[in-house]
Structure 1
Amino acid sequence: MARPHVMVVPYPAQGHVIPLMELSLLLIKQGIKITFVNTKDNHERIMSALPSGNDLSSQISLVWISDGLESSEERKKPGKSSETVLNVMPQKVEELIECINGSESKKITCVLADQSIGWLLDIAEKKGIRRAAFCPASAAQLVLGLSIPKLIDRGIIDKDGTPTKKQVIQLSPTMPSVSTEKLVWACVGNKIAQKHIFQLMVKNINSMQKTEWLLCNSTHELEPAAFSLAPQIIPIGPLLSSNHLRHSAGNFWPQDLTCLKWLDQHSPCSVIYVAFGSFTTFSPTQFQELCLGLELTNRPFIWVVQPDFTEGSKNAYPEGFVQRVADRGIMVAWSPQQKILSHPSVACFISHCGWNSTLESVSNGIPVLCWPYFADQFLNRSYVCDVWKVGLGLEPDGSGMITRGEIRSKIKQLLDDEQLKERVKDFKEKVQIGTGQGGLSKNNLDSFIRWLKT
């Protein structure tokens, strides 16, 4: 039988690329050819971030298409990616499929689409190509997206996705809750961005009817209620490079590996790890409060600080801060996060609660201090704090500021809570069962691979 050839297309954002790259590397090991499609900007960033000696491009056919955007600043605007995903990328991907299938003997036998770009399933159906979709977010977020028609019928949101009033919704008693103002499409800050994101999600609901597999980077052990509400969603996660003893692939920035040696010098469960993903930005005042909060803990810390982390200015540390914490704190531009969270020296994680970060912390038994920024991160915070009870949330004061005192007190509360630390260890074991031999996630992934080969 001919070797299967799968075209993989992620939504053009770091948190979507990495888990689909992990899945692609697993498929390659099973003899499946992968063509991985990024936007030109993301493709160049991934290639430049690869460490020397990495042979990723020899394993996967890495190709790119234009996204029609002019600059990285434009790409960072809320809703801009969703606009280009909806209006520019479909034609470019269809042309690429026609080019590959018109010239290669190894024609594409299946498309694996990020669930956020359901139009790829429409294109594949039109061309008679088999179809699978992959959700890099939680099953709960996917269920919430699929529930948009019900939310409109119940008057919770209008036909444009705008909440009719501020209220907390919960799809079942054991699901995470979310305020309507924090729904993934409603918390982006402007109506035009909301419109583009909501249109894309509504379109995806119809496209999902055309997929033969709706895979999810989660595990039944973490989200039983969500999988019960939508049994068509198939858990195959968590997809972590640390499960395969290698560094993660698909990073947009070079990883600073020196922090791993720094961690080796610290005692077990002593280090605070701080990282907020690839989109979060802070006001200069909030940035300084975080600096002083970390200093007040008197604990060692690793903090991932990108050059544009503060809004409209360079990162301005409080006067003397860098010198005062030099013996116990390091700041890096980008980190090998999965390696850090699996290191015995790490005590807790101050996180934006992106789904990849949430999975990585729970999979390694690391308690989380939650500081969500946008999108699905508020729903993930509810999982961590309310459902699993493996972390705490940082609460802003009356002016909306997370103060240095709040940071210091919540870290102490988190690390003094022995019951919480036992719960997160229990979840670590549950996740390992799901991904281990005979576990549901492992069995589902094996079934998907067999289907690709038939």
Structure 2
Amino acid sequence: MPAISSQGYLPVTDDSKLDPITSIPGHPPLLPKDLPSFFQDADFSNYMYNFKLRPFQRLQEAKSILINTFDDLERDVLKALNDDKINLFAAGPFLPPALLSKEDSRDNRTGTGLWPEDQECITWLENQKESSVLCISFGSIASLSDIQFKELVLGLEASQKPILWAIRPNLKDSIESVLPKSFLESDHVYLTSWVPQTLILSHKSVKILQIRC
């Protein structure tokens, strides 16, 4: 982030959206218009832009960096970053004890939750067929317009799949106001605010996960 910012790619402007970024180690050419949404603001005073930029600026002061990943997943990027004289170590994956020991499936401690997690959704999943549930989460930042939500709901209804949809608390009421009553009251739809993500990902009922961060 600091590098491509100093090279003039950030923040993204109408004139720079289609200029390929070719200087990211281990990464193929990337269009600025495909960067996260908070880069699209042409104002350096943008809160999210600076919130994300500052930690990466501080990383340049570090002697070593640990990343929650592993070599088989991101070998090319890790090699490129180390070749770029960054003393970087793949220290992951960091997972809840339950997924490593297979002892108590309720032990989902990761220390990364922003809101209390809804454990009842796991009970709901237990009553669904294996590999049948479509899980949707838009993370803690992304948002959609009312029209986009309505179009998404049409697609979800057409899928005829059981749906587990995690909608963060500050959006839940406004989203429910634009969703059709038939969708909200369906036995095949479970809406909640925050979920134990790793337990859901590893659940036998879940087949498809779609995340936009």
Report how many residues are paired.
199
Q: Give the match for residue 234 of structure 1.
A: 89
User: Is 1:300 matched with 2:155?
Assistant: no
User: Is 1:243 matched with 2:125?
Assistant: no
1:340 to 194, 197, 200: 200
User: Is 1:148 matched with 2:8?
Assistant: no
How far has the Cα of 1:236 moved from its partner?
Answer: 0.5
Q: Give the match for residue 274 of structure 1.
A: 136
Amino acid at match of 1:243: L
How far has the Cα of 1:267 moved from its partner?
Answer: 2.1
CA shift in 2, pair 1:196/1:259, >3 Å:
closer
Q: Give the match for residue 43 of structure 2.
A: 191
> Which residues in structure 2 correspond to 1:54-453 (within 5 Å)?
145=1, 147-148=3-4, 152=7, 157=8, 161-162=11-12, 165=16, 166-171=18-23, 175-184=27-36, 187-194=39-46, 197=49, 201=53, 204-205=56-57, 207-231=58-82, 232-241=87-96, 242-243=99-100, 246-248=107-109, 249-309=111-171, 313=174, 315-316=176-177, 317-323=179-185, 326-352=186-212, 354=213
Give CA-to-partner distance per residue, 1:108-151, whole Å, 9 cap, x none.
xxxxxxxxxxxxxxxxxxxxxxxxxxxxxxxxxxxxx36437x6
How far has the Cα of 1:170 moved from its partner?
Answer: 4.3
Q: Check whether the contact 1:308–1:315 (CA below 8 A) recurs between aligned residues.
A: no
Q: Give the match for residue 66 of structure 1.
A: none
What CA RMSD, in Å, does the superposition of the two structures yield over aligned residues?
3.2
Partner secondary structure for residue 73 of structure 2: coil
Q: Check whether the contact 2:12–2:41 (CA below 8 A) recurs between aligned residues.
A: no
Amino acid at match of 1:229: A
Gaps of at least 5 residues in structure 1 are 1-144, 355-454
Whole-angstrom distance in 2 between the partners of 1:320 and 1:196? 36
Q: Check whether the contact 1:217–1:237 (CA below 8 A) recurs between aligned residues.
A: yes
Whole-angstrom distance in 2 between the partners of 1:186 and 1:291? 25
Amino acid at match of 1:255: E
Pick the structure with greater CA Rg. 1
Higher helix share: 1
CA shift in 2, pair 1:261/1:192, >3 Å:
same
CA shift in 2, pair 1:209/1:295, >3 Å:
closer
CA shift in 2, pair 1:307/1:169, >3 Å:
same
Partner secondary structure for residue 153 of structure 2: helix
How far has the Cα of 1:283 moved from its partner?
Answer: 1.4
Whole-angstrom distance in 2 between the partners of 1:297 and 1:221? 33
CA shift in 2, pair 1:182/1:195, >3 Å:
farther
Whole-angstrom distance in 2 between the partners of 1:297 and 1:233? 43
Gaps of at least 5 residues in structure 2 are none
CA shift in 2, pair 1:221/1:177, >3 Å:
farther
How far has the Cα of 1:339 moved from its partner?
Answer: 0.3
Whole-angstrom distance in 2 between the partners of 1:200 and 1:300? 35
Amino acid at match of 1:237: G
Whole-angstrom distance in 1 between the partners of 2:168 and 2:175? 10
